Amino acid sequence: MGRMDLRQGIGLRRLGSTADDFQQDLLSSLYYRKGTTVESASARDAYEALALTVRDRLADRRARTAAAQFAHNPRWVYYLSAEYLLGAQLEQNLLYSGTGDLAAQALKPLGRSLEEIEDLDVEPGLGNGGLGRLAACLIDSMATRDIPAVGYGIRYDFGIFKQSLEDGGQAERADDWAFHGNPWEFPAPDDRQTVGFYGHTEPVPGSPVRKRWVPGETVLGEPSHMLVPGYNTETVNIVRLWRARGSEASFDLSRFSAGQYAEAVQEAVRAENISKVLYPDDSTELGRELRLKQQYFLCSCSLRDIIRRFRLRNENWDDFADKTIIQLNDTHPTVAIPELMRLLVDEYELDWDRAWSITRRTFAYTCHTLLPEALETWPVHMFERLLPRHLEIIYLINMHFLREVEAHFPGDADRIRRMSIIGENGERRVRMAHLAVVGTEAVNGVAELHSKLLRETVLQDFADLWPAKFQNVTNGISPRRFIRLANPRLSEVISDGLGGDGWLNDLDRLAELESLADDPAFRERWRSVKRANKVDLAAGDPDSLTDVMIKRFHEYKRQQLKLLHVITMYHRIRENPNGDWIPRTVLFAGKAAPAYHAAKHIIRLINAVAATIAADPVVAPHLRVVFAENYNVTLAERIIPAADLSEQISLAGKEASGTGNMKLALNGALTIGTLDGANIEIRAHVGEENFFLFGLDAFQAAEARINGYHPREHYERDAELRAALDAINAGAFGGVGREVAESLLGWDEYLTLADYRSYLDCQEEVERAWRDRDRWTRMSILNTARCGFFSADRTVADYAARIWRVAPVPVPRED
């Protein structure tokens, strides 16, 4: 590998790597950048000075990365995502820059511990759940694999709300995550973009296809970027986040002078509202105009930035798709497709066919759901008002597309109706998933089953037309964040077992742990790690079976099924207080969308059941239910290492993949789960004897629905189930939860009652395994050993080879 020191060229001092150097730089940050002294520095001053010092260590890797990547002029991967759940930055950047020990040392003269300082590091919660965290894992792995990439997103002022419990129910507070500033970001005001909305279009004389769009409102997009270091490599990529601002002209000085203060700023406020808040909906659509505005804002700013970057090195538009692959993270950024067409046709004056050929080859689309309510559609009238030119372009795309369908399936009017980008059943709507399939070169689902169901159900017509377009890329997770950072004790045991920490970049090497699964000393260590993690978590008796269900609250995920199990355990213990009960701590965590009432009722019922059990002296010694507030990446990193049992109990055919399932299995939790999403692949990897399977499969679930499902039949037939639901209705839990029981008995959308008995039987299997400590530990070790496949490094390698067709561009070290 070549060598490079960019500082040399400009006579800049190199940052030293000794403890003294680091100390000096920290003090200098404190003094010159924070403007304070050792004596008067607050904890926050110390935090910020440390963050800047660590950031500096990554900044020169970043400079070398940019130089190497631009010199190479590769095909760049641009990841467009409305969400990123990056997690805390300080611990990550200390690890990725190898300065953790230096930092702990350097803080001593300030009288501060590293732990205390890390507590001040606020995670940017710019996402809802799995989709946002996947984006963060993928950009981590792209950097780790030396792939030239930029993640584009929105810098929301307010991220995912903070959750607290009030009277047992979820209360929400705004998350002003950057209230104290964010030392990790670099504003880049010179790269700002102007984005239009509303207005009208005008014909361009002499051109049948080009139009001039005269927006009625314009807004500035100001970017800042955060560093995305690779692990054990030189590459540092970036994630570039856009923030909306009013232009200078949006402040109305004359109104202000006339004392109309609110009116004077109203235009600026309107503009800034675009990036004000993350919509807290997960896997459900909320058809608000402001949301479409956010989406277009992200796409327009990012595409102009992508084009700017392309033109730094290239001249010919025909090279654009060879130098650019834009991955759409679900349909949220799909308006980028008509936006690129608009830029190419209207602004750069390419003819339609050439622009379309470029556009199609530039995009790829990842679908993350099967839920019909998550497939975004927009009312045509709303689209037309907000983005009049884009709607015209979509109509043209649709016209060409439907001709293609007609040519393949002559006379099949029904198929044309089904496939059209414009839905005509009732109110006319733009179907974003259809646009995303039509305007891209590749479409993928996120687990084998999900990709198969996409091809065979939701997108079947499209798969008939273009079978080669459809692929699977199974999700993965960052082993750095979710093993090394989250579980340092286990990491040490693994590194000792494997003779080094090379596994962190090559997770398949965990397979070498298999031979240790039968080693009594290794097992003992494995157990003691889990126990110590439980002690740290302090959620309950560390010797109890720690049973965790941590994920967004959604009826399809079936927290209510877990709850029926808890209520049944409660009944059983009450009836037989002297039984040989296995002590269990059932830990729930997760947020519900604020307007999702059914989910909030489930949260309420969990807390009511928890309180009833805690107050029951007969049951409390054996069973404890804990609801951990405000689930986020940081809390996940504490819970996952302490889990014995991982609840992955969605109705089969509903969870696209799941990624919490991977994090837990990799940390040695055993899974109880349905044949859904990536559970199927986890089971295949760990071996069926090391996985607790129950419930209907996706085919049976679909059948049950078609044949007419009657939840009451299960209620009538199963005495324990009846007792659980009756208890809720009789007010056994403070009168809470009748809405939950009503929905289960009334229609039970997700077949909870149908899977109840199978789930309970399976929980008995779990208890049998738990009673045999050695057997359990062996299963746990084998889960970790066999889950190397679920590294996001593998996911990224799959995308790189089969969808992006890109190769790594290594960054030279400095001498």
Sites for ligand GPV among residues 652-671 (CB under 6 A): 655-659
Residue 283 or residue 324: which is nearer to ligand GPV going by CB?
Answer: 283
H helices within 439-558, ranges in order?
448-453, 460-465, 479, 488-498, 520-537
Strands 670-673 and 236-245: unpaired
- Residue 521 CB, nearest approach to ligand GPV (Å): 37
If binding is defined by CB under 6 A, does position 491 make contact with ligand GPV?
A: no
- Residue 813 CB, nearest approach to ligand GPV (Å): 34
All residues at 6 or more sequence positions from 661 whose CB lies less than 8 Å from its CB, including other chains: 646, 648, 671, 673, 677, 678, 679, 682
> Pick the catalytic residue: 245, 663, 778, 794?
663
CA distances from 799 to 158, 302, 449, 485, 656 (A): 31, 21, 18, 25, 18
> Pick the catalytic residue: 557, 565, 591, 685?
557
If binding is defined by CB under 6 A, does position 280 make contact with ligand GPV?
A: no
Q: How far apart are CA 508 and CA 498, in angstroms?
A: 12
If binding is defined by CB under 6 A, does position 374 make contact with ligand GPV?
A: yes
Give which of 568, 668, 553 is closest to 613, Cα–Cα: 568
Q: CB of 85 within 8 A of CB of 136?
A: yes
Q: CB of 140 within 8 A of CB of 151?
A: no
> Pick the catalytic residue: 57, 225, 368, 794?
368
Sites for ligand GPV among residues 676-695 (CB under 6 A): 677
SS3 state at 577: coil
- Residue 363 CB, nearest approach to ligand GPV (Å): 17
Give which of 435, 437, 440 is closest to 454, Cα–Cα: 437
Q: How far apart are CA 213 and CA 196, in angstroms?
A: 9
Sites for ligand GPV among residues 41-70 (CB under 6 A): none
- Residue 443 CB, nearest approach to ligand GPV (Å): 14
- Residue 448 CB, nearest approach to ligand GPV (Å): 13
Out of 283, 444, 630, 671, point to the residue binding ligand GPV (CB under 6 A).
283
Q: Active site includes 381?
A: no
Q: How far apart are CA 220 and CA 344, in angstroms?
A: 21
Residue 91 or residue 285: which is nearer to ligand GPV going by CB?
Answer: 285
Out of 125, 130, 153, 497, point to the residue binding ligand GPV (CB under 6 A).
130
Query: In the structure encoding, which two tokens stand for residue 566, read together?
Result: 């808890």
The 3-class SS string of 595-659 reads CCHHHHHHHHHHHHHHHHHHCCCCCCCCEEEEEECCCCHHHHHHHHHHCCEEEECCCCCCCCCCC
Residue 544 or residue 795: which is nearer to ligand GPV going by CB?
Answer: 795
Q: Which residues pair with 545 in a beta bridge?
A: 584
CA distances from 692 to 39, 337, 568, 672, 764 (A): 57, 43, 19, 4, 10
Which window, 55-63, 122-130, 153-161, 597-605, contacts ligand GPV (CB under 6 A)? 122-130
Residue 447 or residue 642: which is nearer to ligand GPV going by CB?
Answer: 447
Q: How many residues in total does the chain contain?
A: 815
Q: Active site includes 551?
A: yes
Q: How far apart are CA 416 and CA 464, in angstroms?
A: 13
If binding is defined by CB under 6 A, does position 441 make contact with ligand GPV?
A: no
Q: How far apart are CA 443 and CA 468, in angstroms?
A: 9
If binding is defined by CB under 6 A, does position 282 make contact with ligand GPV?
A: yes
If binding is defined by CB under 6 A, does position 77 make contact with ligand GPV?
A: no
Sites for ligand GPV among residues 317-336 (CB under 6 A): 330
If binding is defined by CB under 6 A, does position 641 make contact with ligand GPV?
A: no
Q: Active site includes 574?
A: no
If binding is defined by CB under 6 A, does position 475 make contact with ligand GPV?
A: yes
If binding is defined by CB under 6 A, does position 446 make contact with ligand GPV?
A: yes
Residue 83 or residue 175: which is nearer to ligand GPV going by CB?
Answer: 83
Q: Active site includes 162?
A: no
Which window, 29-37, 129-137, 141-149, 637-645, contacts ligand GPV (CB under 6 A)? 129-137
Q: How far apart are CA 450 and CA 475, in angstroms?
A: 11
Give which of 759, 696, 765 is closest to 724, Cα–Cα: 759
The 3-class SS string of 656-692 reads CCCCHHHHHHHCCCEEEECCCCCHHHHHHHHCHHHCE
Please identify which residue in the block is written with the tokens 């709300």: 161
Q: How far apart are CA 803 and CA 443, in angstroms?
A: 9
If binding is defined by CB under 6 A, does position 369 make contact with ligand GPV?
A: yes
If binding is defined by CB under 6 A, does position 737 make contact with ligand GPV?
A: no
Residue 221 or residue 660: which is nearer to ligand GPV going by CB?
Answer: 660
Please identify which residue in the block is written with the tokens 């019909």: 372
Residue 234 or residue 330: which is nearer to ligand GPV going by CB?
Answer: 330
Which window, 382-390, 602-610, 651-659, 774-782, contacts ligand GPV (CB under 6 A)? 651-659
Which window, 286-294, 368-376, 574-582, 740-748, contacts ligand GPV (CB under 6 A)? 368-376
- Residue 446 CB, nearest approach to ligand GPV (Å): 4
- Residue 334 CB, nearest approach to ligand GPV (Å): 12
Q: Considering CB under 6 A, how many residues would be counted as binding ligand GPV?
A: 19
Using CB atoms, what's the residue nearest to ligand GPV? Answer: 130
Binding site for ligand GPV (CB under 6 A): 128-131, 134, 282-283, 330, 368-369, 374, 446, 475, 655-659, 677
Catalytic residues: 368, 551-552, 557, 659, 663
